Amino acid sequence: MSKELSYSDVSEHSSKKDLYVVIHDKVYNATSFVDEHPGGEEVLLDVGGQDATEAFEDVGHSDEAREILDGLLVGTLKRGPGDPKPKTQSYPPSHSNSSQGDAAGFGIGLYAIILVGGALAFGAYKYLQANQEGQVKV
């Protein structure tokens, strides 16, 4: 059921009311998502009717964003001889878990640091309180 669209076809859809973008040679109809895009409509309008792969990957979209994108799929891009070439930079797989693992590790480490810091602060408070009571009695 996937349609093949030329770069020329995609470039005709560059307005807020009719917006297509190309990401990894797949064509997405972002019209219904323009007003809901967390980065604002300008971000999408800047890449409307064009290959937005580099812009999409540079931001580092979440898995949830990629799932939303799946629902906007219209077809695939059929590149012609005069069409702009895709960037040669390689991107990580669409559903990479490595960045999530790093973030989870950082989160656990952060909680550990906060917990240890809190325990040290409480111990220092109790120590100082005990010393002040000892000085008052003498």
Residue 118 in this model has a pLDDT that exceeds 80: yes
- Please list the helix, strand and coil fractions of the chain in percent, rounded to the nearest 5, in that order: 55, 15, 30
Maximal C-alpha separation, the chain: 93
Higher per-residue pLDDT: 130 or 96:
130
pLDDT confidence band for 136 (50 / 70 / 90): low
> What dotted CATH number matches 3-78?
3.10.120.10
Domain boundaries, the chain: 3-78, 96-138
Residue in 2, 46, 54 with CA at minimum distance from that of residue 23: 54
Arithmetic mean of pLDDT, 100-112: 64
Could you read off the pLDDT of 12-31 as tens digits, one per residue?
Answer: 998 999 999 999 999 999 99
Distance CA 122, CA 114 (A): 12
88: number of CA atoms within 13 Å, CB side? Answer: 0
Residue 24: strand, helix, or coil:
coil
Q: In the structure, what pLDDT confidence band is assigned to residue 97 with cuts at 50, 70 and 90?
A: very low
Which is more confident, 86 or 1? Answer: 86
What pLDDT score does 95 carry? 46
User: Residue 72: phi, psi to the nearest 5?
Assistant: -100, 5
Cα radius of gyration (the chain): 26
Q: Among 17, 20, 43, which residue's Cα sits nearest to residue 30?
A: 20
Using alpha carbons, list the distances in angstroms from residue 48 to 12, 27, 28, 87, 98. 9, 11, 10, 17, 30
